[in-house]
Amino acid sequence: MVWESAGAPGTTSRGASLGSFGWASLVVNVDPDGTSEPIGAPAPGPEADGLAKTDELADVHENARAVLGEALGTALRPVVLLGLGALRHAAAVRAALAGSGIPVLHTYRARGIVPDCAAEAAGLFTGGTMESPLLAAADLIIGLGVDPVELIPAPWDYPAPTFLATEYPAGSAGYFTGGTEIVTPLPAAAQVLAAHRTRHRWPEAAGRTAKQDVTDRLGWVAVAAPGRLTPQDVVTTARGIAPAQTIATVDSGAHMLAVMPLWLVDEPQRLLISSGLATMGYGLPAAIGAALCSPGVPVIAFTGDGGLGMTLMEIETAVRLGLRVIVVVFNDSALSLIKIKQRASGQGGDEAVGYGRTSFAAAAEAMGAAAASVGDRTELAGALTAALGRDGPTVIDARVDPAGYPALLDLTRGSTGRHSSRSWGDGGPRKARKLRTRRRRGNNGSTGDLGSGTRRAGHRRGRARLGH
């Protein structure tokens, strides 16, 4: 059931409501099973005078905060999800969570709001299975600014009650089955988190531990033939050399599965990717844009050979503009992500996704860029160090072995990612609880029974999802 506040005259859409009240706050019950009945009355209509509207909005905001506060007041193992909507309030959100000990997962585009070096930073939230062990251990999940557009389509079947605080109706109903979307200013939601930040019973540095677990597993599936690099090696070697403030851009493809979890950032907007549309050919143009906007800051574009092939001539742009853009191409002579996808569905063949060996180093040199071809970590480190010392662009053609990608994909989005031998000790996951919102008499704010609703049976999360 979805409950909307009334909007401008003649309208009932949630968007119109936001438009007429500014930062209106409303609680939207997104339980698709309709098991939770709303209580209270809708938010003020167009007939309300300005003062009344202000009072009503204050009540509505208070109710939204009460919903979150009540949930946090009893949670032992809350987990916070940060999405792209939290970026514009990064400082407030970071301040609320830093030092709290609450594990925080970031969507691709939210990375850096809580620095990766912090004990709370627990890694990525993609909708895949990499984050499953932590989310399965949670007894409360709270999203701030999470927009489902960023997420891999998958059933939401975690037992913990889920609340999504967002500044605009984000359509959470379509993704977070049984969850509750709360439209409210995020700084207000962050304040509630701050007020309840020490009530949990997570072990110390649980976020860091969860992230390390993922890192370890990514390392276990790294394989490469002699003279070739693992994709994981490319990322960790580059991260070890590039300065902290480096801006990295990431293209679409199997290499992205190695870059996103292993490239650590301590500030927002340092790791740029086209999530949602996940378009190939993003990495190099985005790097050029980043270099133009941030003179003096090193910029690295991580791209597949297929994606670089789509925008190859932009190397000439970087040469002409004298930009210090470093292109690291994961050269495996294949559209590797698609190769795995089509194998799973029994389509195509190697000839549909493979092509002859191309020297991107030679192509780059032909356009006036510096270039290197590398096949091990030492060569890569040398090429990267030289590139960082140059003013213009460098293309580093990294010969990577794609053999580990199927296992990497399975860990990230498939059934293997779901399983973990880690136990989080006492106070482990509790059964999903039905949370009641505080009923406020004479209050027109939209409150409702925000129970977590019936979880959909038939967990399909274990099946590999290969989109994006």
Ligand X SMILES: Cc1ncc(C[n+]2csc(CCOP(=O)(O)OP(=O)(O)O)c2C)c(N)n1
Q: Is 120 in the site for Mg ion (CB under 5 A)?
A: no
Smallest gap, in angstroms, from Cβ of residue 251 to Mg ion? 10
Q: Two tokens at 201?
A: 């019973």
Piece in contact with Mg ion (CB under 5 A), picked from 119-127, 187-195, 301-309, 370-378 = 301-309
What does 215 interact with, of Mg ion, ligand X, none (CB < 5 to 8 A by kind)?
Answer: none
Q: Which residues pair with 144 in a beta bridge?
A: 82, 165
What does 255 interact with, of Mg ion, ligand X, none (CB < 5 to 8 A by kind)?
Answer: ligand X
DSSP state at residue 400 = B
Spatial CB neighbours of 441, under 8 Å, sequence gap ≥ 6: none
Q: What are phi and psi of 372, to 5 degrees?
A: -150, 150
Count CB atoms within 10 A of the CB of residue 346: 6
Alpha carbons within 13 A on the beta-carbon side of 258: 34
List 79, 118, 140, 280, residue binding ligand X (CB under 6 A): 280
Which single residue is written with the structure tokens 């193992």?
Answer: 77
# binding residues, ligand X (CB under 6 A): 20
Q: Which residues pair with 374 in a beta bridge?
A: 398
Nearest to ligand X of 18, 337 (CB atom): 337
Nearest to ligand X of 31, 332 (CB atom): 332
Smallest gap, in angstroms, from Cβ of residue 151 to Mg ion? 24
| Crossing angle of the two packed helices 405-413 and 255-262, in degrees rounded to 10 | 60
Residue of 168, 307, 328, 161 whose CA lies nearest to 239: 328
Smallest gap, in angstroms, from Cβ of residue 311 to ligand X? 10
Q: Is 253 in the site for ligand X (CB under 6 A)?
A: yes
Between CA 156 and CA 458 the distance in angstroms is 11
List 26, 43, 102, 335, residue binding ligand X (CB under 6 A): 335
Q: Is 71 in the site for ligand X (CB under 6 A)?
A: no
What does 361 interact with, of ligand X, Mg ion, none (CB < 5 to 8 A by kind)?
Answer: none
Instruction: Report the site for ligand X in 304-323 (rule: CB under 6 A).
Output: 304-307
Q: Is 397 in the site for Mg ion (CB under 5 A)?
A: no
Smallest gap, in angstroms, from Cβ of residue 45 to Mg ion? 56
Q: Two tokens at 222?
A: 């790294």
Q: Is 332 in the site for Mg ion (CB under 5 A)?
A: yes
Between CA 436 and CA 447 the distance in angstroms is 9
Instruction: Report the site for ligand X in 213-252 (rule: CB under 6 A).
Output: 251-252
Nearest to ligand X of 71, 258 (CB atom): 258
List 8, 154, 338, 381, residue binding ligand X (CB under 6 A): 338
Smallest gap, in angstroms, from Cβ of residue 457 to ligand X? 32
Count CB atoms within 10 A of the CB of residue 243: 8
Query: Virtual CA dihedral for 235, 236, 241, 245, nearest 10 degrees?
Result: 70
Residue nearest to ligand X according to CB distances in the complex: 304
Q: What's the burial of 296, exposed, middle or buried (CB within 10 Å: 0-12/13-18/19+)?
A: exposed
Q: Is 150 in the site for ligand X (CB under 6 A)?
A: no
Q: Is 304 in the site for Mg ion (CB under 5 A)?
A: yes
Q: Is 401 in the site for ligand X (CB under 6 A)?
A: no
Alpha carbons within 13 A on the beta-carbon side of 343: 12
Q: Is 332 in the site for ligand X (CB under 6 A)?
A: yes
Residue of 139, 160, 162, 137 whose CA lies nearest to 151: 162
Binding site for ligand X (CB under 6 A): 251-255, 278-281, 304-307, 330, 332, 334-338
Residues that bind Mg ion (CB under 5 A): 304-306, 332, 334, 336
